[in-house]
Amino acid sequence: MSTPTLLPPGYGQHHVPPPLRPRRTGRRVVAALVLAGFALLGAGTIVAGMIGDASESGYGGGGCVAALAPPAGRPGMGQWDDQQRGNAAAIVAAGQAVGAPPRAQWIALATAMQESTLNNLPGGDRDSAGLFQQRPSQGWGDHGQVTDPDYAARQFYARLLEIPGWDSMPLAQAAQAVQRSAFPDAYAKWEQPAADLLAQLGSGGAGLACTGADVAASGGAATAINWAGGQLGKPYQWGATGPDEFDCSGLTMRSWQAAGVQLPRVSRDQASAGQQIPRDQAQPGDLLFWSTNGVVSGVHHVALYLGNGQIREAPTTGIPVRDRALGGAYDERELLPYAIRPGSAA
């Protein structure tokens, strides 16, 4: 098995887990059986109940995530090799076997993407090894166990599921609570790639998938959404319009610019730059706005609507461009009751 020669910051870092008695499962996942099910999944399949990170602004929730264009520079659906997909399938199968919900599987996949790029590494920092870079000296099991994808994944789920409130934490926070990495924020950039791969693998539970028609977009809206999808994981910077950093209106302006529609630079002005649509009739690509006083003069945030109660946004300092579900006190308090459809008559 080959080992990547260059690893970004955070790969292979040692982790000190909370105490938990190691378990020898004596089982290995036959990944090929899981991979055989790939062909049964439609190209538009998307996974429900995974995304919805909370933040200090009160963001939170869950729902479906569209499998759109992968972030630039990171593998997306179809870009993982057979060995990486096999390891991902083992992680998902282990989650299903222990009853871990899809959100836990999503967190596990993103964690393994950061720790090992889904390669079952024979070594790493100090005595770290395996998909999750678990350390035998810190109670994760012996070297043979931590390099067994099924065992390693079960250990990750066991520790994740016993953390109070894990299912309402941002992905990076939940992953860090288990891994205790020297790079706690690095997990966030894998949110969308992990969602995309989990969608391809399938969650295996009834009622967990929704169809691509639910988030269908066409024409300029599809172009804007997919362009913004290429910016997922990039840092937030107030006043930035790309290509490496964005603020909220910089992201929406550049996204619709890619579709041939020029929006004003400031979110307050974007709130009047198109056809006003009742929010419950919003379609993918429409713009949603947050206001401190309930009218345009108080608008301070804008995001692209993805459908199914999901948005794509550049949220705030310290949180990169991401997808999330609408919900929580912040949205209830400040989200305007209408959307703007760019490119339509105001």
Share of the chain above pLDDT 90, in %: 50
Tell me 166's DSSP state.
G
Q: Which of 211, 187, 185, 203 is nearest to 105 (CA)?
A: 203
Q: For residue 73, give every residue at least 6 positions away whose Cβ sits within 8 Å of its Cβ, in sequence order, or none.
A: none
Q: Which pLDDT belongs to residue 270?
A: 96
CA dist., res. 249 & res. 276, Å (int):
17
What sign for the dihedral angle of Cα 291, 293, 283, 171? Answer: positive
Q: 137-146 long-range contacts, Cβ below 8 Å, gap at least 24?
A: 138/14, 138/15, 138/16, 138/17, 139/17, 139/19, 139/20, 139/22, 140/17, 140/22, 141/22, 141/24, 145/22, 145/24
CA dist., res. 120 & res. 146, Å (int):
9
152 or 193: which leads in pLDDT = 152
Query: What digits encode the pLDDT tens for the residues 113-122?
Result: 999 999 999 9
Query: What digits encode the pLDDT tens for the residues 98-131?
Result: 999 888 998 999 999 999 999 999 999 899 999 9
User: Residue 220 CB: number of other CB atoms within 10 A?
Assistant: 18
Residue whose token pair is 């066991």: 158
Q: Helix crossing, 102-116 with 191-201: angle to 10°?
A: 120
Tell me 77's DSSP state.
T
DSSP H or E stretch at residue 322: strand 322-325
Query: What digits encode the pLDDT tens for the residues 293-315?
Result: 999 999 999 999 998 889 999 99
17-31: average pLDDT: 36
11 or 293: which leads in pLDDT = 293
Assign domain 217-341 one CATH number from 3.40.1160.10, 3.90.1720.10, 3.40.250.10, 3.30.420.40.
Answer: 3.90.1720.10
Phi first, then psi, for residue 109 (nearest 5°) are: -65, -45
Tell me 167's DSSP state.
G
All structural domains of the chain with their residue ranges:
31-212, 217-341
Q: How confident is the model at residue 2 (pLDDT cuts 50, 70, 90)?
A: very low
Edge-to-edge strand list for the sheet holding 275-278: 275-278, 335-341, 287-291, 299-307, 310-313, 322-325
Q: Which residues pair with 246 in a beta bridge?
A: 236, 241
Q: Which pLDDT belongs to residue 215?
A: 40
> Cis before residue 278, ω within 30 degrees of 0?
no
Q: How confident is the model at residue 29 (pLDDT cuts 50, 70, 90)?
A: very low
DSSP H or E stretch at residue 340: strand 335-341
225 or 215: which leads in pLDDT = 225
Q: Which pLDDT belongs to residue 259?
A: 86
Q: Classify residue 127 by burial, with Cβ atoms within 10 Å: 0-12, 13-18, 19+.
A: middle
Query: What digits encode the pLDDT tens for the residues 278-297?
Result: 999 999 999 999 999 999 99
Q: For residue 337, give every residue at least 6 positions away whose Cβ sits within 8 Å of its Cβ, in sequence order, or none.
A: 278, 279
CA dist., res. 247 & res. 235, Å (int):
9
Q: Which of 245, 251, 240, 237 is nearest to 288 (CA)?
A: 251
CA atoms within 13 A on the CB side of 57: 23
Rounded to two decimals, the pTM is 0.47
Q: For residue 107, give every residue at least 6 positions away whose Cβ sits within 8 Å of its Cβ, in sequence order, or none.
A: 160, 166, 171, 174, 175, 194
- Copy the structure tokens of residue 250: 């910089």
Q: Which pLDDT belongs to residue 344?
A: 66
Average pLDDT, the chain: 76
Query: What digits encode the pLDDT tens for the residues 68-89?
Result: 333 334 454 447 898 999 999 9
The answer on pLDDT for 48 being more than 80 is: no
